[in-house]
Structure 1
């Protein structure tokens, strides 16, 4: 397995381009199952997760073609992906494929919407929490699908097609909102999703579906209305910038100190984070295409309190990274996690670097220390792994992050982007692929 080694203490200075959003790209790829015409996605990130889903879609009948602009800087230019599903050759998504990436479960709705049936493996457990798919299945049942569970698989049938319905989610769920949206666009009649998630990635998915001929309104608000259509066509769509990557590099720049400009991004998507960074003493300057982060590493950060919430609140996917920043803040910070019940697994690893963190249920109290010390640490999930990299940027000596295949799931060319700004970071190649 690969490892990443970081020698801390280097200030960062330069520019980091933000890639297309992973959380949007994989749902847009699933939308290609809804039409027999080509769906062309630009600004696509090059990630392990998009490769995993591409393999699954190929098994289902999609022709996946990837290309780069030969005249563009490979670090700044997103990939172009063409997905054409002229015919669904299989409605079966096996456990071996679905287990590699939880979001691949979202092929279920498009398959049922287009062909009337599908057999898809349940995604199984998750290291950061249970994340059950019951809301996904209840939404499909509300749309008229018959759902049967047998030996770890979901059998879904709607031989006469899906029927529009009013669906009110008992709590906000990004995955269930996206899944219901993907299924309802081909349903007969009108579907109304209430208490829907408001994430920018959902609005991005709706924009793409509308380009394909869908009739979706209200995406990005708690109520989404979908007027079903009989068929969808092809389209060309640019993936929205990754707000989690933008926030991660903003926190990396704040941790290391210096001045870094993040480009190809929408700064308003991290307003909740920016407010907390400013409160902590970090300089945040917005631009039309991004944000500039400045901090004098000689000036002590201030402890702040954060609580994760659905968008537009403080993103749970930035909680671990922000906690890393608070390990060096003066005073005691409080981090409340309200989205996932097991998302503090990075705490013991930060402790190996000298952080002083106490966890009580869904709260973590972070008492700032004068300095962190480099050590061997282990990545436990995608966002936790990058929090260790962020901590390593400021730790004395060398920090080695093991099991970085988690990082490759969601961060494109991490070492290249950081080293271009002066970070002393390198990848140590391992033997073979991890057993996931």
Structure 2
């Protein structure tokens, strides 16, 4: 158990560099097992989810080495081992092994995924896609069993009833070696899907249309190793941009793809945040005038990302008047609100709407991260707050933010991570 202590209320400045995309990495790693020779992934973030996936690879006999953000995956001696429980249950992205194992072996046993609780997140669409390709899928004793007949998977036309990043990628992984053509309709368009398709094409797959609502896959018999660099993490970038506007005395965020953040940056500009956009960096200038309240509604890409509604929340508390957030993707993504209230925020939830009223000052308190992006929200709030903030459950934060303590310290933040003794009394929250 660890905790983060922040002594806030001081402006930060300098430069911070965004790591490779967490939401890409957790799909690219399972995708790599489809190859029959080593895959070299550069720009892999050093986060807990990546280390958990590496452990899963090693259980299956895959050789993996991770150093200086380069991950080498050699699946040439991989075996299909049933994984009904254990590490496979620890993160949401473990479900990508379903599609990858189906594509590679035509069968697999994978425990139901874990990760942050953001309300019900069923995998029905994934199963529907697998079954359309000819797989038999059953759930037994808390695990998903995937099987195919002797002739293997066959391409098909698959319509996604709901736009889903996870289901789009999972069906893609299963379809790349299926016989014939697969067409995924109403596919998700996120940059991470393009990243996965790029890797697979570099491995010898035939995928067209990634990034549009219709992806076409012509099945191939074999896939080979390759080298691939992961795209920058747009959610990490958005988090540091929101932080820069909230507590910055001039912060430059490097390794950014502007097009991946257009809807988010449009809302920052609507608030009155001044930014200088360059080829692969964005400088956030010190806020010198009162910020305007805004309304945010999350949508699938290219709309405002659900993963960024929590990190932008502390910034909205600095605006004069009421701001509103409606998360149409995960309506239960609201657990950061009671924690902000502990810090003095005027915030409430009415139905599916988060209502925030601008305040003069947050105050340090002991708070708990309930999920990955809620943790990022509380870090920004702690940097804003007067006095000391202690954040518990920081394991959530470490799942998705590469070297966050070092990066914030480099900007001048007074922040440290401490081990929490097993016998520690957490006490009553302030």
Q: TM-score, normalised by structure 2?
A: 0.96
CA drift at 1:169? 0.4
CA deviation vs aligned residue, 1:243-300 (integer Å, no higher than 9, x gap): 000000001111113111111221221111111111111112211112111223x632
CA distance in 1, matches of 2:391, 2:139: 39
Structure 2 alignment gaps of length 5 or more: 423-430
**Kept after mapping to 1: 8 A contact 2:116/2:371:** no
**How many residue pairs align between the two structures?**
421
CA distance in 1, matches of 2:339, 2:218: 49
CA distance in 1, matches of 2:169, 2:81: 20
* Mapped pair 1:342 → 2:318: no
CA distance in 2, matches of 1:156, 1:213: 25
Residues 37-186 of structure 1: matches in 2 within 5 Å? 37-68=37-68, 79-123=69-113, 126-158=116-148, 159-186=150-177
SS in 2 for 1:301: coil
Residues 34-433 of structure 1: matches in 2 within 5 Å? 34-68=34-68, 79-123=69-113, 126-158=116-148, 159-296=150-287, 299-431=289-421
CA deviation vs aligned residue, 1:197-230 (integer Å, no higher than 9, x gap): 0000000000010000000011011110001000
CA drift at 1:166? 0.5
**Which sits farther off after the overlay, 4-13 or 41-50?**
4-13
CA distance in 2, matches of 1:122, 1:4: 30
SS in 2 for 1:155: strand
SS in 2 for 1:370: coil
CA drift at 1:386? 0.8
1:25 corresponds in structure 2 to: 25
CA distance in 2, matches of 1:244, 1:422: 22
SS in 2 for 1:232: coil
**Kept after mapping to 2: 8 A contact 1:91/1:117:** no
CA distance in 2, matches of 1:381, 1:138: 28
* Mapped pair 1:15 → 2:5: no
CA drift at 1:67? 2.3
CA distance in 2, matches of 1:341, 1:129: 7
* Mapped pair 1:4 → 2:1: no
**Kept after mapping to 2: 8 A contact 1:274/1:284:** no
**Kept after mapping to 2: 8 A contact 1:91/1:111:** no
1:76 corresponds in structure 2 to: none
**Kept after mapping to 1: 8 A contact 2:271/2:293:** yes
CA distance in 2, matches of 1:279, 1:310: 20
CA distance in 2, matches of 1:117, 1:421: 48
2:428 corresponds in structure 1 to: none
Classify 1:124/1:251 alpha carbon distance in 2 versus 1 (closer, same or farther; 3 Å): closer
**Kept after mapping to 2: 8 A contact 1:62/1:86:** yes
CA drift at 1:155? 1.1
CA distance in 2, matches of 1:51, 1:29: 11
Structure 1 alignment gaps of length 5 or more: 69-78
CA distance in 2, matches of 1:16, 1:257: 12
CA drift at 1:108? 1.1
CA drift at 1:374? 0.8
CA drift at 1:15? 0.6
SS in 2 for 1:44: coil
CA drift at 1:370? 1.1
